[in-house]
Structure 1
Amino acid sequence: MMKKHVLALAITAIVLAACGKKEEPVATPAETTPPVAAAPAAPTGPVLDEEKVLNIYNWPDYITETLVADFEKEFGIKVNYDTFENNEALHAKLVAGNSGYDIVVPTAGFGKKQIDGGLYQPIDKSKISNYANLDPEFMAKIAGVDPENKHFVPWAWGFTTVGINKQKVEKALGDMPMPENAWELVFNPQYSSKLKSCGIAFLDSPSEILPVALHYVGKPPYSENPEDFKAAGEMLAKVRKDVRLFSSTMIDDIAGGKACAFVGWSGDINIAADRVKETGGTDEIVPLLPTGGGLVFIDTMAIPKDAKRVNNAHAFIDFYLRAENGAAMANEMNYPTGNKAALPMIKDEVKENKTIFLSDEDTARLIPTGGFSNDIAGTLNDTYNAFKRGK
């Protein structure tokens, strides 16, 4: 589901295989043995695994149209590309072991406990010549959960927020004005009861819903206190009757008109808006910028500890970090990029969309990325499941 927007990082691109320099032959007397020919220049480019395969596990609807095909054509590597619906599904796969994947795309905050659990191997930055394209200020944000940026390389980022079908919401609210804080629409029964008629959808993910619920009730968004979860759960219980669905296919559900208000990823909401326009629809689908703050997410590439094709994985990461591929992610998928070199290639209409590339004021309101420890995971899941079941 998507997701899911950057001082200078002194990472220098390292040449993976240096070219040899052929020496001019030195003249020798006729009676001596002819000189041995110089060895041919070493090939340049990334070192690849013998097996020309790469298995990737990513979120759905979260990759540009030709990226995989372009990589396969250039490197002669067959990519097997599978998708998962939420971080919880990815985590279960990694914990079980022998996932078979060479690259996975966890959300940085959620992935902290996976790093702590030894589920990822370090990235070899010497194999990623385009690493210097990354914005150092953006990488500092990831370092909050991945110290020294040892394991995670950014894929894309965004924020979890409230989105609306503007016409339907205005009609359902009637004379009631829109709240200043958009979270009121889905967390305050005064508003949710009115939107029930046109549908409220929640992203089906405990790690996305509970932080914003905790923040809304005045608790730390990544609290480790069970009592804070109790307060969030009590608030959620009051609006449960007004929630139509818990969605793992948010783009389709929004574009299909199944809800008029939704808690989802900013990029997914913008993608759904584009789909409505492409099919001739006139409804205006917009992600809102709550005064109460949206929840930052940064999705990242990581290499599982038991990955079999590590060289191929590094080659793909390096390929993805090319400036043109970072720009395509923003232009096609409506997600901002941490690739600083890509910025000049991003379309003006995308850069000027304040729900993609946020203003300083809106950025300051965002809830910073973070993560829950394994110790509180049970409370997190129990609170969410009770909300979902309505009990």
Structure 2
Amino acid sequence: AEDTVAKFEAETGIKVVYDVYDSNEVLEAKLLAGNSGYDVVVPTSSFLQRQVAAGVYMPLDKSKLPNLKNMDPELMEKAEAYDPGNEHSVIYMWGTVGIGYNKAKVAERLGADVPVDSWDLVFNPEFAAKLADCGITMLDSSTDMLQVAAAYLGLDPLTTDPADMEKAADLLMKVRPYIRYFNSSQYISDLANGEICVAVGFSGDVYIAAARAEEAENGIEIAYSLPVEGTQLWFDMMAIPADAPNPDAAHKWINFIMEPQITADITDYVSYANANTASLPLVDEAVRNDPSIFPPADVMAKLFPTVTYGGQLDRVMTRLWTKVRTGQ
């Protein structure tokens, strides 16, 4: 939230340098190179899994994290799939990949009855062609886009079969002529100011775009949908690099973030769900009761986790993604 860092600094006297990165791939390159200088990093769960295996992180000293008692045991158990025993990480926030869209522009081009809660909106060439003039964007991430494309095709979204990924890439190539750009953050401001009308994006980022449009009073109404075919559920995890310069301060930061009010403030500000049970009564009621942020059980059942791919498939996906991005 806007005051999270200031509150931590006031409480601890520790100066915080806050940095952001555009994608997990960028963070991973820094971590694997070593000497990143970071004390706490926040990778997505599937990236964390292979980074743990590579020895990138130090085990957490849980005696310094009394606020672990606030965390939802069921969600923490789900996160154990990426980090056995939650030895190296704690859930920061979690969310989904879905569709952010400009309600008026989409209705204008496709009619009021178009199914905005379907991947058809972006993967059906007939729809994509009609939306191209107002702007469609997708995440610049092979792991996100190829997985949801596979799900749309009725393939196992957890597939590690290169042939399935080829089919997912072929689907993306069919709509590639109608995609304005691939980027994992630019769509926030572009949705808010009307530069684009549809974005495959992260749940909280789309809500940030909607809030910016509302604040600007520009008449743009942005909505977020979870496709009925199912979509990706991911966890962003807090972890401490093995070579962190200030591991004690890092533990203090992680414990501070798990304070119920601090977590609630962050969820209210960024519109991402959290795994902090004690914070939920403190979260704004409109956010807490929004089914696109905190999905009900029947929708949760259709969400699938991110996948950690091995070296050989990584190379296949890099090749396919280069093809999709360049359109060649």
TM range (shorter): over 0.9
Contact 1:111–1:371 under 8 Å retained in 2: no
Q: What's the Cα RMSD here?
A: 1.4
Q: Distance in 2 between matches of 1:203 and 1:129?
A: 36
Do the aligned partners of 1:334 and 1:356 also contact (CA within 8 Å) in 2? yes
| 1:150-197 per-position Cα deviation (integer Å, ceiling 9, x unaligned) | 11111111100112111100111148x413752111111021111112
The alpha carbon displacement at 1:110 in A equals 2.1
How far apart, CA to CA, are the structure 1 residues paired with 2:195 and 2:54? Answer: 39
Alignment gaps of 5+ in structure 2: none
CA contact (8 A) 1:161 1:263 kept: yes
CA-to-partner distance for each residue in 1:221-275, whole Å, 9 max, x for gaps?
A: 2422211111111111100000011123221121121211110001111111011
Matches within 5 A, 1:1-391: 64-174=1-111, 177-179=113-115, 182-247=118-183, 248-391=185-328
CA distance in 2, matches of 1:273, 1:147: 37
2:155 and 2:57 map into 1 onto residues whose CA distance is 31
What is the TM-score normalised by the length of structure 1? 0.81
Q: Distance in 2 between matches of 1:209 and 1:256?
A: 24
8 Å contact kept, 1:329–1:336: no
* Further displaced range: 193-202 or 180-189: 180-189
- State the distance in 2 between where 1:370 and 1:234 align: 20
- Number of residue equivalences: 327
Task: Quote the Cα distance in structure 1 between the aligned partners of 2:199 and 2:115.
Answer: 15
Q: Which amino acid aligns with 2:144?
A: E
Contact 2:95 2:293 in 1 (8 A): yes
Question: Secondary structure of the equivalent of 1:156?
Answer: strand
Tell me, yes or no, if the aligned pair for 1:226 and 1:376 is still in contact at 8 Å. yes
1:154 alignment partner, SS class: strand
Distance in 2 separating the partners of 1:174 and 1:185: 12
Whether contact under 8 Å (1:156, 1:299) holds in the other structure is yes
Partner SS for 2:147: helix
Distance 2:105 2:58 in 1: 48
Q: Report if the CA contact (8 A) 1:200-1:261 is conserved.
A: yes
Hey, which of these two has a bigger chunk of helix by percent? Answer: 2
Q: In the aligned structure 1, how far is the partner of 2:159 from the partner of 2:84?
A: 21
Distance 2:240 2:299 in 1: 33
* 1:180–1:353 distance in 2 versus 1, CA, 3 Å: closer
Q: Deviations over 1:335-361 (max 9, x none)?
A: 111001101111111112121111222
Q: How far did residue 219 of structure 1 move?
A: 2.5
The structure with the larger Rg is: 1
Between the aligned partners of 1:227 and 1:83, the Cα distance in structure 2 is 35
Q: Percent identity?
A: 41
- Whether the 8 Å contact between 1:158 and 1:335 is mirrored in structure 2 is yes
Structure 1 unmatched runs, 5+: 1-63
Distance 2:317 2:61 in 1: 34
What SS is found at the alignment partner of 2:278? helix
Q: Give the structure 2 partner of residue 5 of structure 1.
A: none
User: Distance between the aligned counterparts of 2:165 and 2:6, measured in 1?
Assistant: 45
Q: Give, in angstroms, the shift of residue 135 of structure 1.
A: 0.4
CA–CA distance in 2 between the matches of 1:213 and 1:375?
Answer: 20
Matched residues in 2 for 1:102 and 1:169: separation? 43
Q: For residue 287 of structure 1, give the secondary structure of its aligned residue in structure 2.
A: strand
Are the aligned partners of 1:182 and 1:290 in contact in 2 as well (CA < 8 Å)? yes
Kept in 1, the 8 Å contact 2:193–2:218? The answer is no
The whole-number CA distance in structure 1 between the counterparts of 2:157 and 2:311 is 16
1:12-59 CA distance string (max 9 Å, x none): xxxxxxxxxxxxxxxxxxxxxxxxxxxxxxxxxxxxxxxxxxxxxxxx
How far apart are the structure 1 equivalents of 2:81 and 2:240? 19
Displacement, 1:106? 0.2
Which letter does structure 2 place at the counterpart of 1:210? Answer: L
